Structure 1
Amino acid sequence: MNPPAAALPFLAAIGWDDAEIQPLAGDASFRRYFRAVAPGRSAILMDAPPPHEDPRPFLSVARWLTERGFAAPAILGEDLANGLVLLEDFGNARMRETVDAAPESELRLYEEAVRLLVRLHGHEPMALRPYDLTEYQREAGLLTEWYCPAIGLDVDVAGYRAAWEQVLAPLNGVPAVTVLRDYHAENLMLIDGHETLGLLDFQDALAGHPAYDLVSLLQDARRDVPAAIEAAMLDLYCRTVGVGDDFTTAYHVLGAQRNAKIIGIFTRLWQRDGKPRYPTLCPRVWTYLERDLAHPALAPVARWFDAHIPSAMRGDPIVLAG
């Protein structure tokens, strides 16, 4: 976790030449993060190296959110040629650790996160690429592309796509909202001086269905969200926005789609990128996926899973691969 060579000249050029650079955790992408600490101030240095990463989508979405009163990090400096961005430091108080340390805060913070989504969905969507059926199919296909071969299963990919086509088709025509796509407890920050949760990791935002970010929050691949909390928060969103059974159905359809995608991505992170910690999260994701597949609207996809991936083959792909 050494900073890139361009980091020190970049920081010096924007008045942070007295900063000490401290490594922070990376993520599932090529992006890395550092904390720049100077006397009386600190900031976050994002290293999004080209050609693997492009920080411009992050900058664009951050500014769009900030203009509408949401707490995205302020942009303190940027060097696009080297993929460097200096961001406002939101501190270390993530929703994840806060809830784990103080379980009595769980309901309150999830309610706050749901109400933030309600406010976000009240705005006209940002001009973004559509999150459409083509993208849903591509993402769902990551499970058959990566997970199934990893555990030695040869499956009917055409039948998988056909089942998803049938299930996803009713989502067409729903008015789009800005979908942040990775909206969960590790990307939500409690910030001193802010009345709302801070937002991170939204560079992949698209214009899509309002149920998607709710799924991301309530079927969290990285922590167990109690079923009672999930049900209460889904009900809170539906009552607040004034939606009913069609939205609940879409929630479970997109839950299944997202969880199938995540299982594929976590397998790919192990096999292609050498990151073996991600497959250990797959058993939790399978639990969510099976819960979604129980919804009647998912019957075609559920039949495909029952025919092609036995229950004993639904888990950590590293363990199953032997």
Structure 2
Amino acid sequence: MPQNRLTRQTVKIGFFTLLAILILYLGITYLKGLSIAGLSKTYYVSMNDVTGVNVATRVFVNGYKVGSVRKIEYDYAHNGKAVLTLTLDPKVQLPQGTTVQVAQTLLSGAIVNLLLPALETGAYLHAKDTIPMSTERSAMSLEQLQSEFVPRISATLSRMDSVLLQANTILSNPNIEPTLADVRQSAQHINASSAQLQRSLSSLPKIMERIDHTSANVESFASRLDSLRLQETISNLESTSRELKSFTQRLNQSNGTVGRLLNEDGLYNRIDSVTTSLDALIRDIKANPKKYVKLSLF
């Protein structure tokens, strides 16, 4: 049992090691821009000068990447020319008359362009055919690019140096420190205000909950108010109003005692005369009590 288990573990380790090597190979091949053997077409190019061209240099057709340079070999038998091995997408069809042109770029180095003929005859190149170099003038060489862009870059760097010098002068100004302090203080105030606003916003759900609760209470009160017997109350008020009106009408009539008192001047005058006489009598009694009350002593 232990030996079988050890053999099984050894097989697993070997399998995963081979798998890791395969993945590593495919990854390196992908990163280098090379096509996997068996999944590409191979073509050859004979060149006098391969300056800037390296293994994994990209190959384009009308600006679209279709492959890369897989190998560069020096051909000693043919006047020292170099032979490039190109691996292209197997779906690419190159018509007869296709030529190769090497163009230089300032940032990414050389690229290989496949120039398709303007008129196609219907015949196509086969795999492992040699593609001739183009007689057309290629893009600027690396030296030309350097001679054109280096002065511009130098001028740009000079302007940048001037800007940095001015910035250094501004930063070395003694008045800049108080300004920066004010800016920092303003930033602190902004941060404090932001924190306070955040706290206020955090309490907003509670406020909304209270508003919802208050709204529910108002709705409940409105429903209870609707359920009150308002019609009966209004009827009672109307009845009371009619009774008060009837009482007022009876007061205005001269049939009753109160009505005659309010409406007949003679009755009022007699009552007033009696009241006046009674008042005079009370005063006279107070002034002359002996006149009305006689006391006898033993």
Could you say whether these structures have the same fold, taking a TM-score greater than 0.5 normalized by the shorter chain as the test?
Answer: no
- TM-score w.r.t. length of structure 1: 0.17
Rg bigger for which structure? 2
- TM-score w.r.t. length of structure 2: 0.18
